[in-house]
């Protein structure tokens, strides 16, 4: 077993990306993800990689598009306002079926918002974000260890399904330090015959493109992509269940909110209230099935979020109106504390 | 029978979609001739813009990438940083490069990215039906400047070669035209040099090609070429604006 090291979440992502074979990073300064870019700036030149500080988030994502077109692993990272700027490029990347990794270390919004942690880009991340019909694979770490583990997984899934993946973290996870066991240097690189690498005058030219002016053709390309999405929804859903066996109150939370929720579950159990937690690790694909199954057993769901209530809509869709769903959230950079969750669950139990 | 004239190998057999009299056909040919002459088709990757040349990816036989509007220099940067030994070019129009993509082109130039940029300036947005471009001349009538470009409200045209030449970094910046045989022959030489520079790792090379748009200018092809001579070239003087690739003594000549 590898040795554990103490790292910031942002740095763990960077190191894990290097170990996953990523040698190209493009970014633009923004708080609270700067350590990631700084780490890449320091390391890339030492290992023959490319770090480039782009003139804008827009350029950074288009540089990512360029590298991915050549078949190599590539990533960018940013925080909420910067990720909004990247949406045009992300839509093109999805339309051209390119595998890339985008990291969003979320901060509060809308607009310039603040620099404190948030989960209020949930809609943007899980529903497409830019124009057109598409999805990203969205992974949500809840610890520095998962920042590292899910980075490697995100690259693999992006390559496997030829689509962009996103690591949806937040300012707390980005900034906090925890012991982490870094993944082995073992990139699962695959052949990419579609890549542009020069024809060597030995094959037909490859074209990386998202333009289809014939509507029947564009529709077909969307349908093909959604076939793949269907497969991902069947095969790649990831979640953690915590004390759900006999739970009557099901908290649903991801990322940093899930850690608060876990504490609340323990405290509630100590007080004789059977609470449990479903923690989505993928928020697209969303763990619909486990929530639907829980709906037959629990009395209520409580969506715990760092937003005004975004994931709650997916919880409601997943549980199919079987049980009431309540929201327990803070926004703008505030984090719900266990007490807020406990109070809400007690009120629900008391017939709120 | 001896072949005396044929299509460059670097162009596919796909029928061009350009309007009659449009000079994109000539410029495509010049780029393809440069690729043939330098024998770099197998290593070349082109980046197509958004605009009239959006489907250039079907016309060039090399690998091609279609970029978002204005972003071709950023995409080309990614391609070149990934494959430094390949030859990367962008092919962009004036709306793409000088309006929505201004940040991308300026920063690619100031990084001296070792890429070749073919910049087609026809003073109008062609693909969308003739709107005012950043290079539309003062007083020029377009769909969105129906009373003529009023510099008091719409500002002045952007002179890309002059602007980029203010930067320290770029290796080679030149403006050519394709409105007559003499200018086409010179454009051929300059475009080939812009690719040769990249092979020699000299850095950022941009060739602005002053071009015509008979359809959206509302002129016959012939009149449009005359308008290039009479109106465009006086505003956009032809010549080499920057050449860091030439030896010192040559520069003086």
Helices H / strands E in chain B, number of each: 12, 9
What pLDDT score was predicted for residue A1? 59
C-alpha span between A61 and A86 (Å, rounded): 6
C-alpha span between A229 and A110 (Å, rounded): 29
Query: Does the CB of B55 have a partner CB in chain A at under 8 Å?
Result: yes
Nearest to A268 by CA among A327, A331, A201, A343: A343
Please list the residues that pair with A25 across neighbouring strands. Answer: A51, A75
C-alpha span between A21 and A17 (Å, rounded): 7
Interchain proximity B103–A70, CB inside 8 Å: no
Nearest by CB: A66 against B41, B62, B79? B79
What pLDDT score was predicted for residue B253? 46
Tally of CA atoms within 13 A in the half-sphere of A1 that contains its CB: 4
Nearest by CB: B61 against A26, A205, A210? A205
Query: Does the CB of A52 have a partner CB in chain B at under 8 Å?
Result: yes
**B 60-119 residues inside an 8 A Cβ radius of A:** 60-68, 71, 74-83, 86, 103-104, 106-107
pLDDT per position in chain B (253 positions), as tens?
899 999 999 999 999 999 999 999 999 999 999 999 999 999 999 999 999 999 999 999 999 999 999 999 999 999 999 999 999 999 999 999 999 999 999 999 999 999 999 999 999 999 999 999 999 999 999 999 999 999 999 999 999 999 999 999 999 999 999 999 999 999 999 999 999 999 999 999 999 999 999 999 999 999 999 999 999 999 999 999 999 998 765 555 4
Low-confidence ranges of chain A (pLDDT < 50): none
What pLDDT score was predicted for residue A316? 98
Q: ipTM score of the complex?
A: 0.96
Q: Phi/psi of residue B72, each to 5°?
A: -55, -40
Interchain proximity A207–B81, CB inside 8 Å: no
Instruction: Give the 3-state secondary structure of residue B51.
Output: coil
Interchain proximity A70–B83, CB inside 8 Å: yes
Chain B residues within 8 A of A192 when measuring between CB atoms: none
Q: What is the pTM of this model?
A: 0.97
Best probe of the A interface among B9, B41, B74, B127, by most A CBs < 10 A, is: B74
Interchain proximity A59–B41, CB inside 8 Å: no
Interchain proximity A208–B66, CB inside 8 Å: yes
What pLDDT score was predicted for residue A85? 98
Q: What is the DSSP string of A58-120?
A: HHHHHHHHHHHHTT---EEEE-HHHHHHHHHHHHHHHHTT---EEEEEEB--STT--SSB--T
Best probe of the B interface among A24, A44, A59, by most B CBs < 10 A, is: A59
What pLDDT score was predicted for residue A35? 96
């Amino acid at each position: 077993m590898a040795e554990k090291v103490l790292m910031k979440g942002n740095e763990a992502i960077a190191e894990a990306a290097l170990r996953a074979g990523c040698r190209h990073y493009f970014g633009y300064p923004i708080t609270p993800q700067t350590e990631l870019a700084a780490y890449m700036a320091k390391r890339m030149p030492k290992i023959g990689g490319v770090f480039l500080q782009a003139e804008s988030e827009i350029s950074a994502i288009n540089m990512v598009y360029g590298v991915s077109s050549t078949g190599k692993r590539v990533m960018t990272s940013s925080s909420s306002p910067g990720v909004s700027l990247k949406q045009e490029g992300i839509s093109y990347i999805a339309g051209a079926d390119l595998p890339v990794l985008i990291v969003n270390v979320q901060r509060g919004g809308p607009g310039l918002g603040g620099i404190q942690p948030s989960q209020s880009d949930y809609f943007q991340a899980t529903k497409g974000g830019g124009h057109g019909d598409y999805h990203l694979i969205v992974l949500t770490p809840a610890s520095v260890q998962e920042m590292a583990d899910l980075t490697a997984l995100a690259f693999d899934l992006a390559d496997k399904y030829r689509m962009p993946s996103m690591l949806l973290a937040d300012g707390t996870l980005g900034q906090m330090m925890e012991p982490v066991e870094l993944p082995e240097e073992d990139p699962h690189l695959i052949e990419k015959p579609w890549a542009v690498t020069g024809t060597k005058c030995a094959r037909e030219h490859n074209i990386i493109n998202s333009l289809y002016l014939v509507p029947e053709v564009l529709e077909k390309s969307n349908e093909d992509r959604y076939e793949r999405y269907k497969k991902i929804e069947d095969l790649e859903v990831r979640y953690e269940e915590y004390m759900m066996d006999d739970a009557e109150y099901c908290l649903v939370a991801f990322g940093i909110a899930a850690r608060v929720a876990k504490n609340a579950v323990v405290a509630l159990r100590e007080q004789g209230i059977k609470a449990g937690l479903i923690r989505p690790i993928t928020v697209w694909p969303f763990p619909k099935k486990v929530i639907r199954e829980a709906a037959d057993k629990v009395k209520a769901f409580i969506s715990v979020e760092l937003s005004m209530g975004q994931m709650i809509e997916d919880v409601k869709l997943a549980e199919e109106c079987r049980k009431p769903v309540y929201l327990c959230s803070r926004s703008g950079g505030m984090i719900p504390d266990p007490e807020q969750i406990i109070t809400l669950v007690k009120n629900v139990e008391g017939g709120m | 029978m001896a072949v005396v004239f044929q299509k460059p190998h670097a162009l596919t057999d796909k029928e061009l979609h350009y309007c009659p009299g449009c000079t994109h056909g000539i410029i495509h040919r010049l780029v393809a001739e440069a690729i043939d002459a330098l024998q770099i088709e197998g290593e070349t990757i082109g980046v197509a813009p958004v605009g009239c040349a959006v489907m250039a990816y079907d016309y060039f036989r090399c690998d091609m990438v279609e970029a978002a509007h204005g972003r071709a220099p950023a995409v080309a940067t990614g391609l070149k940083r990934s494959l430094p030994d390949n030859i990367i070019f962008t092919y962009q129009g004036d709306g793409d490069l000088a309006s929505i993509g201004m940040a991308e082109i300026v920063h690619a130039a100031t990084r001296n990215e070792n890429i070749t940029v073919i910049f087609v300036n026809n003073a109008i947005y062609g693909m969308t039906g003739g709107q005012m471009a950043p290079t539309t001349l003062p007083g020029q009538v377009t769909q969105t400047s129906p009373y003529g470009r009023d510099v008091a409200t719409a500002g002045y045209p952007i002179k890309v070669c002059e602007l980029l030449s203010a930067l320290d970094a770029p290796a080679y910046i030149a403006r050519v035209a394709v409105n007559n045989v003499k200018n086409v022959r010179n454009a051929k030489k300059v475009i080939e040099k812009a690719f040769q520079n990249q092979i020699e790792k000299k850095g950022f090379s941009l060739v602005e090609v002053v071009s015509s748009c008979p359809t959206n200018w509302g002129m016959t092809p012939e009149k449009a070429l005359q308008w290039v001579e009479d109106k465009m070239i006086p505003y956009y003087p032809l010549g080499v604006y920057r050449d860091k690739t030439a030896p010192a003594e040559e520069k003086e000549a």
